[in-house]
Amino acid sequence: MAEIKEKNSRKGLFFTVSIIFLLPAVITLWTLSMQQTNTDETIIIDRVQELSGSVKSSIRELFDHFYDCKILIERDEMHVNVTFIDKISRSKDEWGSEFNSIIENFRNFVVSEEPHIWINLTGLQEKEIPFIIEPYNVTYSRYWGIGHIVIRVVPETMNFQSYDLVINSTVLEIKNISTTFRDPGGFHFSITSVDDYGHREVRSANIDPSANHQVQIFFDAGNKVKIDLISNVLEIWTNAPNTTIVNTKIDNFNVTDERITIAVFRNIINVSFPEFRAEKIDSVSISDEA
């Protein structure tokens, strides 16, 4: 196992160095251009856009390469589905801080090379990063308490028709499942529980999402996964010490002509040339439709 980690570390280092050494090319081009051209307003705006775009692209590539959460967007003629595939643990240390360290090193390098660029990492600490499904305004996030972690899905409005969850407890064997589905309705709520021992249990019902519903998956030693749907808000809580793989599929958004985007890192990039009164504050999306 140590050998695998070492190989991954070297691969990650090579990837990060590649990204870092691509960025100075854009910065150098900007500097030379400013020295060799008139400070025309259009030229300045274009160069600010180029710098911002280069940093944005680099952050997105780092995220795609190093962050554990995978996001799938599916669309047909009638509906849109979005799935988050997350590996979680009650331990922040076990869940890892590789992405945080890499993007902080990236920020430090960029701002040392080009003082007109600033990358705000305030919202990236501890991997508690909210993902916003646009244009539907549904927020997917996670946070830690003492000895547990919670995944939370908060819709601004109920503009979709079902939750379809798969909880893979891996090495923790499923011992028991309790289910409380209260008021019936037209919203489909499904939870599939699996483990490495061949267990596969499905609990589902058509419910009213504004009521209170709960499913609990029990393991040994008081460990469990608790899933609550209360007043349209979904929470997936676990105190399990091992990695749990959680697939959260948000089904059947009404189709839209707009491009579906997972927005994150809002207002993270600031490119500013105050001497020319030129500034751009930019955000980064990490997943969108092909």
Per-residue tens of pLDDT for the chain, all 290 residues? 333 233 344 445 455 555 555 555 545 444 544 444 455 677 888 888 899 999 988 888 887 777 778 899 999 888 999 999 998 888 766 554 567 778 888 999 999 988 889 998 876 655 567 889 999 999 998 888 888 999 999 999 999 999 999 999 999 999 999 999 999 999 999 999 999 999 999 999 999 999 999 999 999 889 999 999 999 999 999 999 888 999 999 999 988 888 888 887 778 899 998 888 889 999 888 766 65
Dihedral, CA of residue 267, residue 86, residue 140 and residue 56, to nearest 10: 20
Residue 120 to residue 262: CA distance in whole angstroms: 19
In a domain, 207, yes or no: yes
Rg (CA), the chain: 22
Q: Mutual orientation of helices 2-36 and 41-66 as an angle, nearest 10°?
A: 180
Residues 219 and 189 in one domain: yes
Distances from the Cα of 90 to the Cαs of 79, 151, 241, in angstroms?
34, 11, 6
Residues 195 and 270 in one domain: no
Domain that holds residue 184: 136-255
In a domain, 153, yes or no: yes
Residue 126 to residue 97: CA distance in whole angstroms: 7
In a domain, 165, yes or no: yes
Q: How many domains does the chain divide into?
A: 2
Residues 106 and 144 in one domain: no
Residues 120 and 41 in one domain: yes
Residues 222 and 103 in one domain: no
Residues 1 and 113 in one domain: yes
In a domain, 224, yes or no: yes
| Tens of pLDDT, residues 37-60 | 455 677 888 888 899 999 988 888
Closest to 111 measured CA to CA, from 266, 267, 264, 270 = 270
In a domain, 247, yes or no: yes
**Cβ-based neighbour number of residue 43 at 10 Å:** 15
Residues 116 and 24 in one domain: yes
In a domain, 204, yes or no: yes
Largest pairwise CA distance in the chain = 72
Residue 185 to residue 56: CA distance in whole angstroms: 43
Closest to 154 measured CA to CA, from 248, 21, 70, 277 = 248
Residues 210 and 121 in one domain: no
In a domain, 88, yes or no: no
Distances from the Cα of 265 to the Cαs of 103, 107, 110, in angstroms?
12, 13, 17
In this prediction the pTM is 0.78
Residues 187 and 216 in one domain: yes
In a domain, 78, yes or no: no
Residues 230 and 188 in one domain: yes
